Structures are given as C-alpha cells and as structure tokens.
Amino acid sequence: MALFLNTQKLNHWIPKLIEESEKELILIVPYIQTSENIINALNEADTNGVEITLIYRENKLSEHEKNKLLLLKNINLLHHPNVHCKCYYNGDLLITGSMNLYEYSEKNNREMGMLMHRHSIEEDKNTINRDRKEVFDDAILEIRQIINSASLEKASEKAKQSAFKIDIIKTDEELARDFCDRLNKAFLNKKFKPFKNIDKNNFGRIVIKGSVTIKWYAKCDNFFDKVDVVFEDNRIAITFNLEEVDLKKLYTAWESVYDEFEFHGFKYYWNSLDQDLFLYRHDNFDWSDENNQQKKYAKYNEGITAIINKYRELANK
C-alpha cells in the first residue's frame, strides 16, 4: 500500500532510501544542490559499496555540485535534456514526487510524493503492507528508458566492467537468464534455460496479465532421462515424464517409503500424481553463506541427485 509523503516525510524517507540501499541506487532529479543530509546519506551508501546512478537535467548541474558528487567512488553520472521527473529507487523502496535534491526545497517548499515498497514497512508504529509487484513494473520500464536515452558523463569502474548492467531494473526474464548462466557454470553439462510458466497462483516472481500470472524460472529439460528440473524461487520442482501407469507405480512405491526429511539439508513433498515433486532447503544444513555460490550449488546438486537416485531405485523395482 503506497504511502503519501509531505515535505517533512520526504525529508525523512529520501535519505532513508539512500542509506538503506543494499547494492544499487537510482536517482533521477533535474536539479541538484545537495544538503549535508543528502551528501551524508550518499557517502554512507558509497562506503557500503552501493552502485549509485544519478540522472540529472542537461546543463543543470553546477561544477561545485558535480565536484562533490565525483568524490563518490561508485557514482555513475548521466544527463538528459528532457528529464523533469523526480524518482528515487533502491530496488525495494521507490519514491516519486515533486522534490528535487535541492536544499532550498527541503527547507522552504511545499512538496509531496508517494512511497512504494516491495516489503512491509513501519510508519508511525503501524505496519503498512507491501505494494503489488506490477506497481513497480511500469516505473521500472520508464526508468530503463530514461537511462537508455540519457548521455553518460561518468561511469564507475564496476559499470565499465559490467557494461552498465543494473540488476534492480532488470525484467524477470533477464533475471531468470542471469540465474541460468550461474547454474550452467555450476552444473557444467546441464543446460538451464529461462522458462515462462503461466499459473494462477500468486507465488514467486510474478507479472499479472489480466487474470493470468506469468513466472520466469530456470529449467533444465531431461536433467536425467525422463526427469526435468526447474529452479523456482524457494524450491526446486522435479517432473517425472513417465507414462501414466509407470508414474502411478512410481508414486505408489515412493509413498510406501515416504520420508520428507531423509536427505540432509532438504525436505521434499510429493502430494499427488498430478503435482511435481518439490524440493525445499531445510535448516538442518547451514545455508547462511549465500555468497559461497560454489558450496550452495554443490548442495543443490546433491539434493537433486538424491531424488534422482531414489527415483531410479524405486522405478526399477
């Protein structure tokens, strides 16, 4: 649920959005005359390694302000001749409204804006539920177009190395493709591809098209003979592509020895013949080191292999 912001609340939430950025930050403002409050927030984000992308109106940034901004290690500066919107986005929080990064505006103007958020937030001791994903989609599309049509003045070292790829404005399909690339490096001979699944359940990364939910996942067809594997958001779906009689035989045999916690680090569910088997991470294994991708994907492979070995054992009985 979007939150209305007056001048006082904008002065609270804009620095908060900047300071709470985790990896990337996008600021689109025509006019810039940064206050100490904003500079401190930008310095904190920069110190935390946040990649900052700032788009301003062409010929509207003074040398004094530019020199202050260029002291930031992770800054990307772009200008656009027609930009007039004011937008602040860190991947979780999105503010649009009337306020520039202008010290005079903070102290004297009557400003207003809206805060949208992907997760629930606390405001005046009340919990405000998250906004729907599609609220962000149109805004992200416009942000992408503005960045694409802007002129690049200064790029950070990371932006040069990554060809200016900004994760927080990627589409679901692009994120799925990136994930497939990581899986293919980890699994080597297994080839995952982006997979568009249409469903009516509000689960995972979703885009609403009328009454249909579209989700992008990473899928490997024939991971093992007659077995497909799909990485969803918090689970792995395993499909056994068997004739009905063979599938029923497998399901009956599996049901007789069913133990959802038999594989260390995982739990699994196979609730009916017309459902996939779903493999979930379990906290009897230390999954906390998310940055150790080699360890994480090796463990995923271990869980999938355990399921496939059990399938082979039961299918041959």
Q: What does each C-alpha distance from 74 to 26, 50, 62, 130 come to in angstroms?
A: 12, 7, 20, 29
> Helices 7-19 and 36-47: crossing angle, nearest 10°?
20
Q: Can you give the pLDDT at residue 290?
A: 62
Positive or negative torsion for Cα 291, 294, 295, 300:
positive
Question: If pLDDT is split at 50, 70 and 90, which confidence band does 212 have?
Answer: low
Q: Is residue 201's pLDDT more than 70? A: no
Q: Is residue 96's pLDDT more than 60? A: yes
| CATH assignment, 3-169 | 3.30.870.10
Q: Can you give the pLDDT at residue 54?
A: 97
Please give the Cα distance from 49 to 29 (Å, whole number). Answer: 22
Q: Can you give the pLDDT at residue 202?
A: 42
Taking the CB of residue 210, how many other CB atoms lie within 10 A of it? 5
pLDDT digits (tens, 9 = 90+) for 53-71: 999 999 999 999 999 999 9
DSSP H helices in the chain: 7-19, 36-47, 63-69, 103-108, 133-149, 157-161, 172-187, 244-256, 293-315
pLDDT digits (tens, 9 = 90+) for 110-119: 999 999 998 8
Q: Can you give the pLDDT at residue 123?
A: 76
- The segment with the largest mean pLDDT, out of 154-163, 195-204, 206-215, 221-230, is 221-230
Average pLDDT over residues 202-213: 47
Please give the Cα distance from 170 to 310 (Å, whole number). Answer: 38
Question: If pLDDT is split at 50, 70 and 90, which confidence band does 29 have?
Answer: very high
243 by Cβ neighbours in 10 Å (0-12 / 13-18 / 19+) ranks as exposed
Give domain limits for the chain: 3-169, 172-315
Question: If pLDDT is split at 50, 70 and 90, which confidence band does 131 have?
Answer: confident
Q: Is residue 148's pLDDT more than 80? A: yes
Please give the Cα distance from 239 to 229 (Å, whole number). Answer: 7
**Is 289 or 207 the better-scoring residue by pLDDT?**
289
Amino acid at the residue 143? I
pLDDT digits (tens, 9 = 90+) for 157-166: 999 998 888 9
Across the chain, what does the average pLDDT equal?
A: 90
Q: What does each C-alpha distance from 239 to 53, 62, 248, 276 come to in angstroms?
A: 42, 60, 13, 5
Question: If pLDDT is split at 50, 70 and 90, which confidence band does 244 have?
Answer: very high
Percent of the chain with pLDDT over 70: 94
* Contacts of 209 by beta carbon, 8 Å cutoff, 6+ apart: none
Question: If pLDDT is split at 50, 70 and 90, which confidence band does 93 have?
Answer: very high
Q: Can you give the pLDDT at residue 292?
A: 79
Under 8 Å between Cβ of 175 and 195: no
Please give the Cα distance from 12 to 31 (Å, whole number). Answer: 19
